[in-house]
């Protein structure tokens, strides 16, 4: 297993905890642990704790999971920790089928938005509805003025 910490100094105990949690995430996703392997761990986001707020760490792991029905599967996981007084507390674990899904989760955890686009289908329907109501209202006003 390779480890990338992005220049951060991380204790050996924390690394062991992250590795254990990555295997627990695989088990939660119904992979067979005795045949699965975590190939890469990396810390992608670190928010230091301050006197006013706790810190956060976001870890990615790449794994080859052995599934009982599908066989060997490449999977991409996320471990989201809260840092309290220097200790890691696991908040969320996710295992995804593709790196793109994992990047979308990272974007969502940073911004709180599911998509970056304004032209979401719901926004288009809302804009179209407002335009239609506006046109009906203008036609009604022009009808009243023509009398």
Given pLDDT bands bounded at 50, 70 and 90, which one contains residue 113?
Answer: low
φ/ψ of 67, rounded to 5, equals -100, 145
Question: For residue range 56-71, what is the model confidence (pLDDT) as tens digits?
Answer: 899 999 999 887 777 8
Q: Is the pLDDT of residue 42 over 80?
A: yes
Instruction: For residue 4, give the nearest of 36, 37, 44 by alpha carbon.
Output: 44
Given pLDDT bands bounded at 50, 70 and 90, which one contains residue 118?
Answer: low
- 54-17-53 Cα angle (round to 5): 0
Question: For residue range 45-103, what is the model confidence (pLDDT) as tens digits?
Answer: 888 888 888 888 999 999 998 877 778 889 999 999 998 887 889 999 999 988 888 88
> Tokens 């995430």 identify what position?
25
Average pLDDT for 130-136: 96
Given pLDDT bands bounded at 50, 70 and 90, which one contains residue 116?
Answer: low
Contacts of 57 (CB under 8 A, 6+ apart): 43, 45, 46, 47, 80, 81, 83, 88
φ/ψ of 88, rounded to 5, equals -85, 130
Q: Is the pLDDT of residue 117 over 70?
A: no
Residue 33: both structure tokens together:
């642990």
Identify the pLDDT of residue 91: 92
Identify the pLDDT of residue 95: 92
φ/ψ of 85, rounded to 5, equals 55, 40
Residue 133 three-state SS: helix
Q: What stretches of 85-131 adopt beta strand conformation (E)?
A: 87-96
Query: How far, in Å, CA of 85 to CA of 47, rounded?
Result: 13
Enter the pTM of the model. 0.69
Instruction: For residue 40, give the nearest of 4, 81, 65 by alpha carbon.
Output: 4
Residue 132: both structure tokens together:
């239609």
């Amino acid at each position: 297993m390779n480890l990338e910490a992005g220049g951060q100094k991380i204790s050996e105990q924390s690394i062991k905890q992250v590795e254990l949690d990555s295997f627990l995430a695989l088990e939660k996703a119904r992979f067979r642990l005795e045949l699965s392997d975590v190939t890469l761990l990396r810390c992608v986001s670190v928010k230091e704790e301050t006197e006013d707020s706790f810190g956060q760490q976001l870890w990615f792991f790449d794994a080859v999971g052995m599934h009982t029905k599908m066989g060997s599967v490449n999977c991409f996981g996320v471990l989201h920790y809260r840092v309290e007084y220097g200790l890691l507390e696991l908040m969320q674990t996710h295992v995804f089928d593709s790196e793109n899904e994992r990047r979308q989760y990272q974007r969502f955890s940073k911004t709180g938005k599911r998509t970056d686009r304004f032209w979401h289908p719901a926004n288009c329907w809302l804009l179209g509805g407002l335009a239609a109501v506006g046109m009906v209202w203008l036609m009604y006003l022009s009808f009243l003025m023509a009398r």
